[in-house]
Amino acid sequence: MGIIDEAVAKGQRALSEYQAKLFLSERKIPVTREQLVVGEDEAIAAAEKLGFPVVLKACGPDITHKTERNLVQVGLDSPDEVRKAYKEIIENLGGDAYDGVLVQEMIKGERELVVGLVRDPQFGPCVMFGLGGIFTEVLKDTSFRVAPIEKYDALQMMDEIKSKAILGPFRGKEAVDRDLLADILIAIGNIGMEFDAVKEIDMNPVIIQGSNPVVVDSLIVLGNGDKK
């Protein structure tokens, strides 16, 4: 049974971030290296394995608004910082159910994109691409295509956003690998066609590290439909 099947069978309304990243990585979408842990010692061991600095996040299918609730700690550079951050996250959960704490490599890059999937009542699954991070809701600089999409469509979407210049050489950084980015957009469209139970995907931010896009945070919302 796949990740989507199991989540639907359990009655989950969304995948946890850990589940979402596993599901995306199965489809060759590049995601952060990370480990789900329970306990401070496990968190420290995972951080040492991944390499400092790391990010800690509360993880569970019902946990939302992580940043606003202080359930995310970034830039942790030592075992002591990891231990302290773990304690604070558990305290801030306030007794809410959780699967564990996600210890994640810290991806560094100035360029942030958003990639997603929405289901339009008329057109069905649609792929979304645009400027990510804190600017997604403010600037609404996005492009859409009805799924499934081909490479031509994906490259067109990149050229349609107003901020397309950041995909080229930018502040001394190399140009984004458009082929890899196109593969991600195509894969998201294919998920929309193949998995009726996937209602929405929000990968934000997708940070450009060097020339490569890496999914740093992901939400996959589940809805009614035939599971596959």
Is residue 13 a contact partner of residue 221, using CB atoms and an 8 Å limit?
yes
Question: What is the architecture, at CATH level 2, of domain 3-30+109-222?
Answer: 2-Layer Sandwich (3.30)
Domain boundaries, the chain: 3-30+109-222, 34-105
Output the furthest CA–CA distance in the chain (Å, rounded). 52
Strands 198-209 vs 218-222: parallel, antiparallel or unpaired: antiparallel
C-alpha distances (whole Å) from 81 to each of 75, 78, 122, 213 are 9, 5, 49, 28
Burial class (CB in 10 A: 0-12, 13-18, 19+), 222: buried
Q: Model's pTM, two decimal places?
A: 0.94
Q: Could you give phi then psi for residue 137, rounded to 5 degrees?
A: -80, -30
Written as tens digits, the pLDDT of the chain (228 aa) is: 799 999 999 999 999 999 999 999 999 999 999 999 999 999 999 999 999 999 999 999 999 889 889 999 999 999 999 999 999 999 999 999 999 999 999 999 989 999 999 999 999 999 999 999 877 777 789 999 999 999 999 999 999 999 999 999 978 889 999 999 999 999 999 999 999 999 999 999 999 999 999 999 999 999 964 434
Radius of gyration of the chain measured on its C-alpha atoms? 18
- What is the CATH number that goes with domain 34-105? 3.30.1490.20
